[in-house]
């Protein structure tokens, strides 16, 4: 990092902050200060964030927030996966706890809001309670999950998977990062062990719900000029690898009516795939984001195309219906062009719909804070998606400037952030 390149996230956040949002113990200035302090850990030359999962930078960030947790009176502990829990006792500790938080790791040269904002929002609720003297009936825990982004091993959510006992340890033991380090070696470098990771699962009977605040990473809230919104569900992705195989040939000597062009078939397929989601579900999406052409020569008819389709929806039935329609479409165009098509499923994760009752309680909190309730799906995966496989979850999205994420330009206005903290605080209090 260029030490002469002065960067203050704190100053930028406070430029247009309206301190009328400081009430009921919530302080925007404290949230801005803490976001800035975290931004200095792993700060890049582009003023972005570089804190890979299970890195010393992520560990340093966890230690900083752990100190803030302790200063707020929380009982702080770390599990074998490196997850951090700051617990506030309730009036009745026999009741299951409500958890809220997110992660502190980042993608390479990412932004400063994705993850940290969720952790600090939950901690700000505790700070507000300390100021007002409120004590919850149920225990409350601020949580930091390890390695959500997965930039090191191209597959994240490792902390939340360990918590619920879905660690898939055999697969993880085979992972190697770009530096040739195994999953076990990476854990050891931050004073964690495979044995500890394998035993990080908690008794889920002790947890009532997990609530995650996250930036939207889209433009829906911005387009409606709303600070935050209610997530209706977290889309489950299905990744398909499709291989269209025709015949390569000379571009000059093969007549147009005697070709088996794999790329033409694949191109028609891609164009039509774009139309399918809207025919099935308002929340479904399908994307062809990667394509490989062989032989890939200027004067050669493409004989083979391998492409990948990312299919998502927040509802299992319509997501799987869309998968079937995509596969049917691939066969239709392979037959039309007299070529073959084969497919391989690379990933299938079940969607996590948010319970209607939970959405209704969130809606009540929006009304009580004078904010229009707006509901929207989450197309991206989050720790809440993993936790939601076993426990009730809720999610709040904060408006993202221009929908930018995983980029140094990632931005959420402090006024929007603090209003969301108030909604989160109100929601957790309404769960008591």
Give the tens place of pLDDT for each residue, 359-413: 999 999 999 999 999 999 998 889 999 999 999 999 999 999 999 999 999 999 9
Q: For the chain, what is the mean pLDDT?
A: 95
For residues 231 and 372, state if they share a domain.
Answer: yes
For residues 210 and 145, state if they share a domain.
Answer: yes
**Which residues pair with residue 293 across a beta bridge?**
305
β pairing state of 375-378 and 236-245: unpaired
For residues 48 and 168, state if they share a domain.
Answer: yes
Confidence of residue 1 (pLDDT cuts 50, 70, 90): very low
For residues 227 and 271, state if they share a domain.
Answer: no
For residues 184 and 322, state if they share a domain.
Answer: no
What span, in angstroms and rounded, lies between the C-alpha atoms of 192 and 423?
A: 36
Residue ending a domain, among 348, 363, 392, is 348
pLDDT in the model for residue 263: 98
Cα separations in angstroms, 423 against 86, 101, 342: 21, 14, 49
Average pLDDT of the residues in 202-214:
97
Find the largest Cα–Cα distance for the chain: 83
Which residue range(s) make up the domain with 95? 9-235+351-430
Whether 2 has a pLDDT exceeding 60, the answer reads no
pLDDT in the model for residue 379: 85
Q: What CATH number did the domain enclosing 99 receive? A: 3.40.630.10
Domain contains 135:
yes
For residues 201 and 254, state if they share a domain.
Answer: no
pTM over 0.85: yes
Whether 319 and 311 have beta carbons less than 8 Å apart is answered as yes
Give me 196's structure tokens: 């500890």
Domain contains 1:
no
Domain contains 4:
no
pLDDT digits (tens, 9 = 90+) for 292-335: 999 999 999 999 999 999 999 999 999 999 999 999 999 999 99
What span, in angstroms and rounded, lies between the C-alpha atoms of 29 and 14?
A: 7
pLDDT in the model for residue 4: 53
Tell me how far the alpha carbon of residue 384 is from its chain's centroid: 8
For residues 278 and 180, state if they share a domain.
Answer: no
Residue ending a domain, among 287, 321, 348, is 348
User: What value does the CA radius of gyration of the chain take, rounded to a whole number of Å?
Assistant: 24
Residue ending a domain, among 322, 348, 374, is 348
For residues 121 and 168, state if they share a domain.
Answer: yes
């Amino acid at each position: 990092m260029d030490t002469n390149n002065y960067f203050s996230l704190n100053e930028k956040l406070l430029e247009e902050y309206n301190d009328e949002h400081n009430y009921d113990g919530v302080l925007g200035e404290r949230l801005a200060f803490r976001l800035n302090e975290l931004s200095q850990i792993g700060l890049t030359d582009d003023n972005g964030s570089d804190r890979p999962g299970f890195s010393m930078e992520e560990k340093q960030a966890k230690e900083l927030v752990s100190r803030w947790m302790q200063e707020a009176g929380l009982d702080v502990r770390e599990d074998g996966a490196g997850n951090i829990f700051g617990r506030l006792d309730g009036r009745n500790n026999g009741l299951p706890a409500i958890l809220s938080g997110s992660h502190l790791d980042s993608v390479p040269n990412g932004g400063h809001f994705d993850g940290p904002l969720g952790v600090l929002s939950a901690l700000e609720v505790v700070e507000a309670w300390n100021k007002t003297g409120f004590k919850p009936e149920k225990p409350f825990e601020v949580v930091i999950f390890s390695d959500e982004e997965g930039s090191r091993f191209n597959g994240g959510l490792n902390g939340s998977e360990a918590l619920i006992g879905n660690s898939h340890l055999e697969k993880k033991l085979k992972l190697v990062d770009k530096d040739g380090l195994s999953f076990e070696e990476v854990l050891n470098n931050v004073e964690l062990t495979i044995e500890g990771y394998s035993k990080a699962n908690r008794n889920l009977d002790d947890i009532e719900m997990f609530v995650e605040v996250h930036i939207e990473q889209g433009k829906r809230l911005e387009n409606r000029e709303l600070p935050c919104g209610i997530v209706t569900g977290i889309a489950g992705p299905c990744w398909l690898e499709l291989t269209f195989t025709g015949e390569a040939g000379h571009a000059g000597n093969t007549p147009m009516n005697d070709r088996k062009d794999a790329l033409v078939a694949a191109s028609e397929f891609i164009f039509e795939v774009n139309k399918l989601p809207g025919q099935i579900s308002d929340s479904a999406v399908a994307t062809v984001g990667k394509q490989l052409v062989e032989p890939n020569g200027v004067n050669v008819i493409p004989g083979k195309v391998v492409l990948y389709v990312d299919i998502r929806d927040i509802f299992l039935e319509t997501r799987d219906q869309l998968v079937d329609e995509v596969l049917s479409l691939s066969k239709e165009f392979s037959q039309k062009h007299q070529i073959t098509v084969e497919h391989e499923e690379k990933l299938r994760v079940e969607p996590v719909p948010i319970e209607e009752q939970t959405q209704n309680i969130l809606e009540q909190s929006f009304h009580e804070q004078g904010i229009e309730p707006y509901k929207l799906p989450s197309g991206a995966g989050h720790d809440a998606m993993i936790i939601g496989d076993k426990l009730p979850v809720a999610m709040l999205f904060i408006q993202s400037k221009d929908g930018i994420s995983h980029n140094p330009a990632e931005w959420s206005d402090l006024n929007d952030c603090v209003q969301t903290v108030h909604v989160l605080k109100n929601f957790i209090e309404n769960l008591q």
